């Protein structure tokens, strides 16, 4: 859905940035050693990107307040439904990583929603964003493996 809305290049870059920044905030908040593994921060970042950009679009269209906040409310509901784990607390669910992924995604989505569609859909912008995303992903793996 993210790639359908923003194209492969911009979508991939947004997804990686939301996951990266969400995990950085999560690591900064935790005092001491903290291990977090998985793609769930990026998944909730994608939910936030979609919610934030849709809320921004509705704001620009001057829609009623309830319609403006509906995408953000939907993103928060998905976080509550899917992101907090089971009723019994478990150590295997990093809830803060999910929260920060969503919050960073909402912020990035709001910014991304401010860009003109023609710019986002431009082939050169998609290619540039895709190359930056590939370089970012490769550099992350380089850090991990060295």
3-class SS letters over the chain? CHHHHHHHHHHHHHHHHHHHHHHHHHHHHCCCCCCCCCCHHHHHHHHHHHHHHHHHHHHHCCCCHHHHHHHHHHHHHHHHHHCCCCCCCCCCCCHHHHHHHHHHHHHHHHHHCCCCHHHHHCHHHHHHHHHHHHHHHHHHHHHHHC
Average pLDDT estimate for 100-121: 95
Report whether pLDDT(88) > 80.
Answer: no
Give the pair of three-digit tokens for residue 23: 């995990």
Enter the pTM of the model. 0.89
pLDDT given for residue 83 in this prediction: 75
For the chain, the C-alpha Rg in angstroms (whole number) is: 16
Higher pLDDT, 39 or 88: 39
Report whether pLDDT(74) > 70.
Answer: yes
pLDDT given for residue 58 in this prediction: 93
Report whether pLDDT(118) > 80.
Answer: yes
pLDDT given for residue 102 in this prediction: 98
Spatial contact of 23 and 97, defined as CB atoms under 8 Å apart? yes
């Amino acid at each position: 859905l993210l790639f359908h809305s923003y194209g492969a290049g911009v979508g991939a870059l947004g997804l990686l940035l939301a996951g990266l920044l969400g995990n950085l905030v999560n690591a900064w908040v935790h005092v001491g050693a903290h291990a977090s593994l998985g793609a769930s921060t990026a998944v909730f970042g994608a939910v936030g990107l979609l919610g934030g950009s849709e809320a921004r679009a509705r704001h620009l269209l001057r829609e009623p307040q309830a319609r403006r906040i509906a995408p953000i409310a939907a993103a928060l509901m998905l976080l509550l439904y899917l992101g907090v784990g089971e009723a019994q607390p478990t150590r295997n669910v990093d809830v803060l990583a999910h929260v920060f992924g969503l919050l960073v995604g909402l912020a990035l989505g709001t910014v991304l929603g401010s860009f003109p569609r023609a710019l986002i859909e431009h082939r050169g912008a998609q290619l540039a964003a895709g190359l930056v995303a590939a370089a970012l992903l490769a550099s992350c793996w380089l850090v991990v493996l060295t």
